[in-house]
Structure formats: C-alpha cells, structure tokens
Structure 1
Amino acid sequence: MGSEPKAFDRTWPQRGFLAAAARPMFLLAALWAAGAVALWQWAPSVIARLPDPLSWHIHEMTFGFGGAALAGYLCSAISSWTARAPIQGLPVALLALLWVGARVALLLPALPAWIAALCSVAFFWSVAALLFIEARRAGKGWQPIFIAVAMVGGAISGTWILFMATGAFHPAFPAIAVLGFAAMLIHIGGRMVPAFLDYAAKWEGRTVRAVPALPRRLTLVAVAAAAASLSYGAIDAASFALIAAGLLMLLYIATWPLAPAGRDVLLAILTIACVWVPVGLVLWGLSLLGIGLAPAEAQHALVLGAMGGHFMGLGARVFAHRTAEGLKARAGVGMAYLLILCAVPARMAGLLDLSAALWCLGWLGFALVMAPHLTSPLPRPVFSGSRL
C-alpha cells in the first residue's frame, strides 16, 4: 500500500483551465483590470463613442473587474463550505462567456443596451444559481448572503447599463456601488485575512488572542448608513458615517496578529489591502467635508488599493507554491503587487498617466505569472494551505 499523501500534496481530481472558476475568472479579471484602464486612459476615440464614458469606467472597474474576481472566488471557495469539488467544466465556461459577452456588448454602442444588460444580469444570477445548486446537492454549506449579493449585484449592474443608455442616471449610483464592494471586502476579507494570520501565527508558535467580531459588524452598519445617506443626498451624514466606518475598521485590524504579514508576501498583500479599506473610507468621508482629496480621488483608494489588493492577493493564492509551511507566493507576484500599490498614491496625486501605467503593468505582469499554472492539478483547498 502506498503511504498517505502529505497534507500539502492534496488535490482535487479535476485538472485543467476549467477545473475551478478561480482559474479563468481571475485571469479575466487581471486582463480586464489592465484593459479597461488602458482604454479609459489612452483610447479616447473608443471611449468617446460610448453613451456615458465615465459611468462605463466606474461600472467596469466594479461590476466588470470586481464581478469577475468575485465570481471566481465564490464558485471556488464553495468547496470549503460544501466539502464537494469546486464548480468546474461547462458551468465555468458559461460564466466566462457571459462575462465576456457583457464586456464586448458594452463597447459596441450600435448594439441595443439590453443585450449587455442581459449578459451582465445572467452572469451574476448564474453565480447565485450555482451557489444554490451546490449547497442543495451537498445538503450543507448554504451561504445565503452571497447568493443575495450575486442576485442584487446582477440587478444593479443590469439597471446601471440601461441607465447609461437612457441618461436616467442617479448621481449616487457609482458611490453606492463602490460602497457595496467595500462592504463585501469587509465581510469576506475581514474574516478571511485574520484567519490566515491566526493560522500563520500559531504555526510560528505564537499565542494568539481571539479577534472580536463586533468592530467588523459595526463597520458594516456604518457603511450601510453611509450608502443610505448618499442615496438621500445627506452628504454631511454620509461623511460622518464613512469616517466612523474607517475608524471602526482600523480598530478591528489592530486586533489581528499582524506579525506574520511582515514575513510572507501573500499575507502582506491581503493585509495591506485590508488597511486600504479604512484609509479609503476616512479619506472619502473627509473629502465630502471639503477636506483633503476630491471624492473621486478618495474613492480610488478603495477601488485600486482595497479591491485591487484583495483580488490580487486571492488570485495569487490559486496558483501559489504548496509547501509544508503553507502557501508561498510565486516569483513575480510581489513585484506585480508593488506596481499596483504604487499606482494608488499616484492616482490620488493626479498623476493619471503614471498611475494607469503602473496599474496596467502590474496586472499584465500578474497575468503572465499566473497563466502557466492554470492547467495543473487543482489544489485542495483552492485558496488556503491544506488542512490536516
């Protein structure tokens, strides 16, 4: 009889590009992160043909780039909740096709807007349906909040696309969308990252105290209050809610065992991305009071710093080295992240060409590092070190 496989050798039986949604969707997210920004910054003739260029840019950096990464995460992480293999094969191909269809249709103004809206709604609702089906098949692993997020995300994305075509666009819509993704980062990253740090600290023999959940929950309440205030045009109330959310999130991060992040690239990326959340929220709140940056620059701290860092940190774990000590970043990941990290202050300083160049180079470099590792046996679990 052969010996039991070591914990860090465990894989799912599936292999290949469609073995998990994380593989094609994180690759598409990386390519579109670069492509959408390059079009916005250096292809004015293409963007000028669109009905509402600014709304397109914001939509594609949230529901395009963010939507791809979110789908890749949810449809792969579900294996940790159901104990079944990740969603793979034809359903993953369908998700990728719907996502690409929405991107292409949005760039072709001659097409009716409902085509792009239908593709986008179908993409998000397919994610919700797959999560529901997998949980039902397993009889466990229900994640109703993620199913609801995918359903609501699809409805908002489709409505947004139709609004772009008709011009009936609510001014608070983009800000609320950014806050929605910030809430997801707080909910997902705010639980996942301290868990990773806790595991690493215990591996190093450190005594780890329990991380309280209350500050994270209060942060989510404050973010919801800010979104509601913005929707009603209550700017002062929104500013104070944003600042309160940022301070609460900072208090929450201060309770984490942060030391392992100083010695591990993958943990450092996710931890820095989490720090961008309170920074972005506070800067945004201050900007609404006329202090510091303009609101658009402050929001980029969340979109580029927090979202970009979270999605690159998660994507890097999909193809990381699996060792007895845990996941280790592939060569080149740290440099790719450093480029997008530097893009954030450059954008907030108004250095648009420099910021766009750093961002695009970082994501293209990340895609190049990722691509050769997307057909090998699928690690088990997908996003974390193997569990004994």
Structure 2
Amino acid sequence: MQNAQPPALLAYGFRPFFLLTGVYAVVVILGWMGFLFGGWPLPLGWSPFKWHSHEMLYGLVSAAIAGFLLTAVTNWTGAPPLRGRRLLLLVLLWLSGRVFMWLASWIPAWLVALVDLAFLPVLALYLLRVLVQHNNRRNLVLVAVLTLLFIGNLLMHLGFASGRTGLLNTGEQLGFDLILLLMAVIGGRIIPAFSANWLRMHGGSPDWVARPVWIEGIALISIALLIPLDALGAPEKMTGLVVLIAALGNGLRLWHWAGWRVRKEPLLWILHLAYAWIVLGLMLRALAMLTGFLPDSVWQHTLGVGAIGTLLLGVMTRVAVGHTGRPLKLIPFGLWIYLAITAAALLRLLVAAQVIDFRLGLFLAALAWVLAFGLFVALYWPILSGPRADGRPG
C-alpha cells in the first residue's frame, strides 16, 4: 500500500496549488467587490485595503509560488515530488490560513497570525531539505526569499495587532519587492530558455535570444537593492533612482530576449508580455517617486494585475500541459484567458490613473480578472485533476 499512487490531483505540487490559485483569484476579487460596492459585511477584522493587499500578495501569490517551486525543485534535483498525504497537508495549511484571514474579526489575532504565518516556513524548510540533500546550493536563494516573505507577512500581522500603520506598509512593500524579485529571477530562467528552444524547433536561431551578463546583473541587482532600501526607509529620491535603473535594466533584458520572434506562439508571447508589465510597473514607480506625478496605486496595480496576474496565468497554462504529458500548445479557448487578463490590467491601470470612472472601471477590471482566472479553472481543471496524457505517473 505504501507504493500506491495518490489521486492525480495530489500527484504533483502544481496540480492542487495552481487550481487553488485560479479559484482563490476569483473568490478574493468577488469578495472584495462585494465588500466595496455591495455592502457585504465581511468579518475581516483588518483595515480593508491592507487585508486586500495581504490576501493578494501573501495569500494568492503564495499558492502559485508553492505550485511552481514544488514542481521546479524536482526538476532541479531529481528528487521525488511531494505528493499524496504530505502534499494534502501542505494544501490544507494554506487553506487554513485563508479561512482564518476571512474570519479574522471572529478569531483571536494571535491565532489568525499563527495559522496564516505557518505556510511559508513549512514550504521553505521542505525546499531547504531537498536542495541540501541533493547538493543544489545555487537555488538556496529561493529559500532566503521565502524566509523574507515570511518576515513581510509577520510585519503585516504585527502592524494589525499593534495598530502601527508603518509595520503594515513595510510588510506590504516587502511583499511587493520580494515577489518582483522572484518574477525577475524565474522569468529570467524560463522566458529566454523557452523562447530559444522554440526557435530551435521552428527553424530559427536560438542565438537570437541573448542574455548579456552585464545586463542580467544590472536587472537583478537593482531589483534586489529595493528590498533593503524600502525596508530601511531610504530617501525617496535615492530609491526612485534605483527603481529607474531597474526599469531600464529590465527593459534592456526583455529586448534581448527578442519576444517578437516568438509572437506566433501564445504560450511564449504571454510570458514576454508579463515581463513587459514588470518593466512598465517599475517605470511608473520611478516616475511616481522622482516627480510625485502619479499615485502609488498606479504602479502597484500595474505590477499586481499586469505583471503578477499575467505571469501567473502564463506559467500555469504552460506547466499544466507540459507536466501532464501534453503538447506544448495553448488549449482551445485558452486565448481568451490571455485577452481577459490583459484587459483587466489595462482597465485597472486606467482606473488608478483616474482616466476612467472609478466604479465602472473597477467593475469592468474585476469582471475581466474573474473571467481570466475563471476560464483557467474551467478549462484546466480536467487537465490538473486527471491523469497524465502519456500514462506516466505525476
């Protein structure tokens, strides 16, 4: 019985966590719209806007991070995947955090914090054990990032418990910075590699995709520098200058990846588009900090809806087919997922910039977001919950 195969949904980390990412993306936005405009008496307990940012950064994104890293660490090390009962326990730990956060005003704050904070350390310790056992020290930086994400989450809980807005803001910004760094690191690994492989298989030259070392260094180091600068409250102009360097460095990085050469493959151009949202978000943040011309909500939602939302869906739609023995092609009607998340990002950016009516624009942006992630769940549920197409385990 010990060698019995678990249900397909629990055979690999990406399966349950990607589905939960899609479902929670719908639930959290529907709940937020109901709270804002429908008068739903959600027992949040927190400052509503900080609760919203917490659940997007430390709730929604943490599930997607878990799904990706649990899958990637197996590829990096050759270790067997986390599956079955142990994977189920990790899933239930994440779900418990979400339930407690939604019922925060009915539960003691210390208990809410204890349950919600448990997920990231458990995930980090599992990754640490696997990476050390298989002597894969290159990727230990990701364990450090998860540890810092835990600290950011802790700061938000401490801010709520103590009423100190500064702690809430620091925890929120730390989450943004760390997720941005993760996207830059992971995007820098998969986007040029996938693009070069596709070009090789379709008569192009993989050398069209370039990764100059000096550009890679500027792009990643400048983003990494934002973490201590924001955490320590460095002068705004200094931080703004680093953000500008990050925007320019990552723009050059994206240009060298030659995304226009893979424009015929949706599974690839969506990843390049997601990285373009990162560049735009950094540029808008630099503009906000150096000129005071834009409110922070503009760059925050450009990164949150544009970069994070698009990259999540781009990665999940590719991994879902690639790791279940299916051809690396977007499934029928999948293009609507990409169109909907792009519409959501554009609309939310226009709302934050006060170009269109707030209520109407926010409603349309939320509708497009729910359509994008709802379609993902509906279209990919059979793939993620069913057996591999090639009959292999996993």
Deviation at 1:322, TM superposition (A): 8.1
1:107 partner letter: W
CA RMSD of aligned residues (A): 2.5
The alignment of Structure 1 onto Structure 2 pairs a total of residues equal to 369
SS in 2 for 1:50: coil
Identity of aligned residues (%): 28
Bigger RCO (CA 8 Å, 6+ sep): 1
In 1, Cα distance between equivalents of 2:350 and 2:68: 32
Deviation at 1:75, TM superposition (A): 0.6
CA 1:144 to 1:321, structure 2 compared with 1: closer, same or farther past 3 Å?
Answer: closer
In 2, Cα distance between equivalents of 1:341 and 1:178: 20
In 1, Cα distance between equivalents of 2:324 and 2:55: 36
Pick which of 121-130 and 69-78 moved more: 121-130
Deviation at 1:91, TM superposition (A): 2.1
2:236 partner letter: I
**Aligned position for 2:295:** 294
Deviation at 1:68, TM superposition (A): 0.5
CA 1:167 to 1:324, structure 2 compared with 1: closer, same or farther past 3 Å?
Answer: closer
**Aligned position for 2:17:** 25
1:234 partner letter: P
Do the aligned partners of 1:77 and 1:86 also contact (CA within 8 Å) in 2? no
- The 5 A counterparts of 1:122-271 are 122-140=118-136, 143-170=139-166, 171-209=169-207, 210-231=210-231, 232-271=233-272
1:277-328, Cα deviation, whole Å (9 max, x unpaired):
1111001110223465321121111111111111111111232278999511
Residue 42 in 1 paired to residue 52 in 2?
Answer: no
TM-score, reference length from structure 2 = 0.87
In 1, Cα distance between equivalents of 2:84 and 2:198: 33
SS in 1 for 2:328: strand
Pick which of 34-43 and 337-346 moved more: 34-43
**Aligned position for 2:355:** none
Deviation at 1:139, TM superposition (A): 4.9
**Aligned position for 2:87:** 92
2:220 partner letter: L
In 1, Cα distance between equivalents of 2:324 and 2:130: 29
Deviation at 1:227, TM superposition (A): 3.7
Do the aligned partners of 1:193 and 1:271 also contact (CA within 8 Å) in 2? yes
SS in 2 for 1:84: coil
In 1, Cα distance between equivalents of 2:67 and 2:272: 20
Deviation at 1:152, TM superposition (A): 2.1
Residue 331 in 1 paired to residue 366 in 2?
Answer: no
Do the aligned partners of 2:343 and 2:365 also contact (CA within 8 Å) in 1? yes
CA 1:101 to 1:162, structure 2 compared with 1: closer, same or farther past 3 Å?
Answer: farther
1:150 partner letter: L
2:329 partner letter: K
Pick which of 119-128 and 247-256 moved more: 119-128
Structure 2, unpaired ranges of 5+: 352-360
Structure 1, unpaired ranges of 5+: 1-12, 383-388
In 1, Cα distance between equivalents of 2:191 and 2:6: 27
CA 1:67 to 1:324, structure 2 compared with 1: closer, same or farther past 3 Å?
Answer: closer
Deviation at 1:233, TM superposition (A): 4.7
Deviation at 1:378, TM superposition (A): 4.4
Do the aligned partners of 1:14 and 1:378 also contact (CA within 8 Å) in 2? no
Deviation at 1:114, TM superposition (A): 2.2
1:111-147, Cα deviation, whole Å (9 max, x unpaired):
1122232223221111112212323454547621111
2:100 partner letter: A
In 2, Cα distance between equivalents of 1:159 and 1:75: 26
Deviation at 1:58, TM superposition (A): 0.7
SS in 1 for 2:164: coil
In 2, Cα distance between equivalents of 1:174 and 1:345: 23
Do the aligned partners of 1:186 and 1:216 also contact (CA within 8 Å) in 2? no
1:187 partner letter: V
In 1, Cα distance between equivalents of 2:377 and 2:338: 12
TM-score, reference length from structure 1 = 0.88
1:1-25, Cα deviation, whole Å (9 max, x unpaired):
xxxxxxxxxxxx7761011111111
1:41 partner letter: M
**Aligned position for 2:101:** 106
In 2, Cα distance between equivalents of 1:330 and 1:166: 48
SS in 2 for 1:330: coil
1:196-228, Cα deviation, whole Å (9 max, x unpaired):
001111112222324223323212222233343
Do the aligned partners of 2:324 and 2:389 also contact (CA within 8 Å) in 1? no
Do the aligned partners of 2:77 and 2:131 also contact (CA within 8 Å) in 1? yes
